[in-house]
Chain A
Amino acid sequence: MTEYENAIEIKGVTKYYDGFTLDNISFDVPKGCIMGFIGQNGAGKTTTIRSLLRITDINSGEIRLLGLDHIKDETAIKKRIAVVFDELPFHDVFNARDMARIFEGMYPEWDNAAYMQYIERFQLPVKKKIGQFSKGMKMKLQIACALSHNAELLVMDEATTGLDPVVRDEILHIFMEYLQNGERSILMSSHITSDLEKIADMVTFIDKGKILLTGYKDEIIEQHGIIKCNKEKLQEIDSGDIVSIRTNNFGAEVMVNDRENASYKYRDCVIDPASLDDIMLYYVHRDMKEWS
């Protein structure tokens, strides 16, 4: 088994589609980390995930998973990773037991006892056909399958989307448990930034095929702030400090990308902390500068 520092290394990856380009993106997911991958619909999250899993081929760049080349060492990598998609890709005629029979031959480290424990914990019926499962049950089954072969890297594409808060919370709790030995890593793309705020160590923000931000979540949140001011005061703020401005009837809310510096420069303004949601929203509108 290879020693590695980063569970995922993406360097200068470009993928051309008709009408969309994943443009020279680079980021790393250190071993033992949960990386939240955020961005609006069509930003390139799924394309990035499909590229790193080699569901689609890239035009240029380099991808390494668990220290191995994603093309040359594909088979070795696939034994050590797990993937959860937004939709269950299993046939409706199977039941939970059938899935165990299918996966136990595919994964050398498949652990039937662990799988049955997850099935029990999620209160999933063993003999009921998957076609009769609810969306939440389907997602839980997919997660149970993903966590039962001792995967070192878990990649999830919108896995919690469409689930109710109770199920989401339960699943997030399981991910935290899964990471406890420090040897495992998670890349989790989601629209639901509140989930990522709860569990992610790092965040990568993608928009229009470009990586805008990547780093430790707490640092990113600490760096950004929202200045609430009137329109006269707005003129005094340096354009270089501004990500974008949200105007309303009472004045403006300005996102700054260096909160500490802004708190010295604009002492008479109130600077609120920004959430991941806010950061995403203001960055998406960065080209317009002013929006409402």
Chain B
Amino acid sequence: MMEFISTFISASLIALFLQNAIYERALGINILLYASRKKKDVIGFALGLTYITTISSALVWVSDRFFWDFEYYNLIIPVLYILIVSIIYVVSLLVVWRYFPKLYWQIKKFVHLTVFNCSVLGALFLNRQIGESFFSYIGYGMGTALGFFLAGSLLYIAYERLNSELVPKAFRGMPIMLIYVGVISMALHAFVGYA
């Protein structure tokens, strides 16, 4: 049991710090730039991502286990993973619509952005790098979403200052936010020890 827990934790930590989806791979950066304007959105997107990446990682583990030796698996992976995410998306929406109708109308507008984005698909593609165990898959999936939350929180904290008059007008918004994310990514790079 302890082995499973340690696999889960180490996969989560790798995805959170060493292979942070935003700082190390820039996956989901467009969603991050959009979500970091409001604290509520950062939390909402992070929760949505955590749910989707964790559950879909579990299903991806099953699919990888059965189809990995299939000759053309590489080619069908995108469709297969999107299908897995879609099934979770539809089932979850139905459950929310049936039991939490108020929440359903609140999340309806942007829920597809949380589900169909490159950080979810990227996490599913990279799952296998850490290991082949079930717990490493879901640990990596959850760590990816936590990494998004970390990056989103850091960007939210600086959001007002980055969009203030201190910054030249043409650089306000997306350009300066990208530079800021790049600088933090550089710091993390040095911290991890790639340099």
Query: Is this pair of chains taken from one and the same complex?
Result: no
Instruction: Using CB atoms and an 8 Å cutoff, list the residues of chain A in contact with chain B.
Output: none
B residues whose Cβ falls under 8 Å from a Cβ of A:
none
